[in-house]
Amino acid sequence: MLILPPCRRARALSVVGWLALTTAPWGCSSSEKTDGTGATGSDSAGASSGGVAGTGTAGAHAVSGTGGGAGASLGGRGGVGGAPAVAGAASSAGGAANGGVSNGGVLNGAGAAGTPHVAGAGGRGGGGQSGFGAGGAGGAIAAGAGGALSCGAGAAVTFSKNVRLNDDTGRADQNEVALATGANGLAFAGWMDNRAERVCAYSVSTDAGATWSKNVSIPNSGGQFVGDPTVAIDAGGTLYAGCQEYIDLNAGTGSIRLMTSTDQGKTWSAVQSIQSAPDKPWLGGGVTDGTVFVSWLGTTAGIKRSLDHGMTWGATQSLGNIIHGTAIVTSTSGLVHVPYNLDSDRNQLRYLRSTDGGMTWEKTRDLVADMGRFCFECSPRQHPIVGAAADPSGKIVAITWTSTMPGGEGDDDVWILFSKDGGDTWSKPLRVNDNTAPARQFQSWVAVDACNRVHVGWTDLRNGKNEVWYARSADPTQGFEPNVQVTDGSGAATSDFIGDFKGVAVLGSDVLMTWTDTRRDGGDIYFSRAVGAAAP
């Protein structure tokens, strides 16, 4: 959300009465795993060697087994590490074996690679006994052998029946939806909801979008109004629900509010304020349990990281003075990509990168000198808010926005900037939408799957209605597949505001999308899934 338009301030007027609770139950719903068990080693003093660890067996339902723990040894040689668990069929790699104990226990090999999925994780180092030497070093994280995916073209793209996520029965407006996905079918959506007093509302799915939980919310706690919801999921499955509270819009004061859930949305923490900010927070879930990033705009814009589920936060990396929000893209390699529009006058696409998971940051650089003309005055409006995504390794990166640029139709088009080397070098802006007659496209968002395919979704007026369209590419520099309509209904596209972003995310082999839909009233939050669109 930009710190300006009167249209936003008009929407700040609210009717008293939605929820007095911090989180209101507006409801909620798992997988099975079998692990191998390691044998216990001998811990007799002076034994010549530690006990030999057992070997984990593959888990049911293609879940890998867990490597056996190493036997302890009190002054003897380091225990022999457990053998890597056997990988589940066509799934994740076997779990890593633990290292031996004292005297710098022997490094274990990585888990055997899944067939033909992700490489196994490296083994943990053995713990040292007091007076008998340091623990063994951990194995390399990326050491699994043969874990490369065998990628084809992916399934033909067909989106499912559209489903409404907001569970109110009235005609109030809902808009500006964000989407995050995690492991084991976990998906999380958040949006602005005006069914009574405006709140940031949220819903959770534990079955890849087949069903969604009863809505919960973060209400206004004393400011003028709330908005700009943002969501994230970390590697441990913790859900992060963020919301901007506008304390005084004219003075530019506000607060980023956060609540979390560790049980897939069944219960939620108390809401806390985590940062003073005038506008537009964004969350990014980390690739380790408890890691999450938050960014914000303003004269003291910045980004910071928490390693303990948002309870405490590290130092802020300054972004200077920016008036539009950032994207945050994390990865298993430690690359963190943070692109944003610098401001509406200079109009650069600026880029911040970390190569060590956000411990340190490189100097910012401009990827595009001029991102084109943005239609602030249009209805619906379009602001310079960028979406971004990467494959799990962070090497294949895509940044999207919509604007009027040379090479388009003379109105808003969808553009992609693409990198194949983790952000070292970038393509020129590449057009995504394939319509030939003039028509606005705006509010684009993007995801990248494990096979490096790029998935883009946007609002499209090619048929004169509020519709959502999609395109896929194995390499955007070589073009996109024909555009596909996501919506199975349409509505008016005359409102000044239907949000500034939507949700596009990969979950396993599927592509998930959320958007503001006007087929029923001034705005609802809808969802659809393209099964197999991200499959190997």
pLDDT recorded at residue 409: 87
Tell me which DSSP letter residue 477 carries: G
With 0-12 CB in 10 A as exposed, 13-18 as middle and 19+ as buried, what is 465? middle
132 or 246, which is more confident? 246
pLDDT recorded at residue 50: 33
**Residue range 390-417: average pLDDT?**
96
73 has a pLDDT exceeding 70: no
The listed CATH number (2.120.10.10, 2.40.160.40, 3.30.497.10, 3.40.50.720) that belongs to domain 327-353+360-536: 2.120.10.10
**Residue range 234-258: average pLDDT?**
97
pLDDT recorded at residue 147: 54
The ranges of the chain annotated as CATH 2.120.10.10 are 1-26+167-326, 327-353+360-536
12 has a pLDDT exceeding 60: no
- CATH classification (class only), 1-26+167-326: mainly beta
Nearest one of 268, 202, 205 to 229, comparing CA atoms: 202
- In a 13 Å sphere around the CA of 395, the CA atoms on its Cβ side amount to 8
**pLDDT (tens digit per residue) in 321-369:** 998 999 999 999 999 999 999 887 779 999 999 999 999 999 999 999 9
Q: Which of 42-56, 149-163, 432-446 has the lowest mean pLDDT?
A: 42-56
Residues 38 and 62: their CA atoms lie apart, in Å, by 20
pLDDT recorded at residue 148: 64
pLDDT recorded at residue 486: 98
36 or 503, which is more confident? 503
**pLDDT (tens digit per residue) in 24-70:** 334 333 333 333 333 333 333 333 333 333 333 333 333 333 333 43
Structure tokens at 83: 């053998």
The single residue listed with the structure tokens 């939050």 is 525
